[in-house]
Amino acid sequence: MQDSADPVATAPPLRRLDRRVALVTGGGSGAGAAIARRCAAMGASVVVADIDFALAGEVAASIRGTGGGALAHRCDVAAEEQVAALIDRVTREFGGLDLVFNVAGPWLSGDPLAHWSRIVSANLLGTMHVTRQAIEVLKRRGGAIVNVAADAGLGFGAEDRPAYCAAKAGIVRLTAALCYLKDKKIRVNCIAPDMIGEVEDFAAVAVGLALREDFAGRVVLYRNGRASELVDFGDPGFRQSQPL
């Protein structure tokens, strides 16, 4: 169980998200679904995007069933034209966008070239597509993007999956490179889990990170059952970290 005193999840205190709009890719199951439900519970209208429309529909329906506002949208984030259509629908249906969670990103067993292409396309290019399209909307009133990487992209964990490690490392560096957007009131940060046990705990940290107005271009290492840590970019291989 994630420590309830985790500084990323609790500082600043979580505020209501009434009249805010959140987009969650990979929102049809697991951590993505938990993030979508948490945003909705805090008052946000939520767009649940997933390559599996049935799963996205179930999550959106469960949010509406509790009185929240939500819609489901099928999207393969590796296809930029589908991402553009997704962002267009978000703005048409809800009038804007405030929070983006890039959770979509599979890993596949085996080493065929098709797997490498799919892994990099869905994880890295998918995150880039959503981020690039969302930035143009977020410029209107500011907001936050949280990219989900993995500890493997920081030199920890499953280093026997090179395509996955490379894609997640790319997400980390993409996040850091977008730090300059804080001048436009857009905060892009990244959370890199080792594993996700209790999805609700992970969702609390991810949403808390989105609301950290003092963070931009930062990477948070999420270790299941332990307090989250800010990654020290000065360390070769990103193996050192500091308590928040």
Any domain includes 2:
no
Whether 174 is in a domain gets the answer: yes
- pLDDT confidence of 135, banded at 50, 70, 90? very high
d(CA 133, CA 39): 21
Q: Confirm whether 1 is domain-assigned.
A: no
User: Over the stretch 2-17, which tens digit does the pLDDT of each residue have?
Assistant: 443 454 544 445 568 9
Residue 237 confidence (pLDDT) above 60:
no
If you search the block for the tokens 């020290």, which residue do you land on? 232
C-alpha to C-alpha distances, 105 to 51, 74, 170, nearest whole angstrom: 10, 15, 13
Which residue in the list 94, 101, 116, 164 is annotated as catalytic? Answer: 164
pLDDT of residue 8: 57
Query: How many folded domains does the chain comprise?
Result: 1
Contact 88, 49 (CB under 8 A): no
d(CA 6, CA 16): 19
Contact 127, 49 (CB under 8 A): no
Say whether 164 is catalytic: yes
Instruction: Report pLDDT for 126.
Output: 97
Which pTM value belongs to this model? 0.89
Q: List, for residues 19-61, the tens digit of each pLDDT value.
A: 999 999 999 999 999 999 999 999 999 999 999 999 999 999 9
What pLDDT, on the 0 to 100 scale, is given for residue 223?
A: 82
Domain of residue 35: give its range: 7-243
The CATH code of the domain that includes 122 is 3.40.50.720
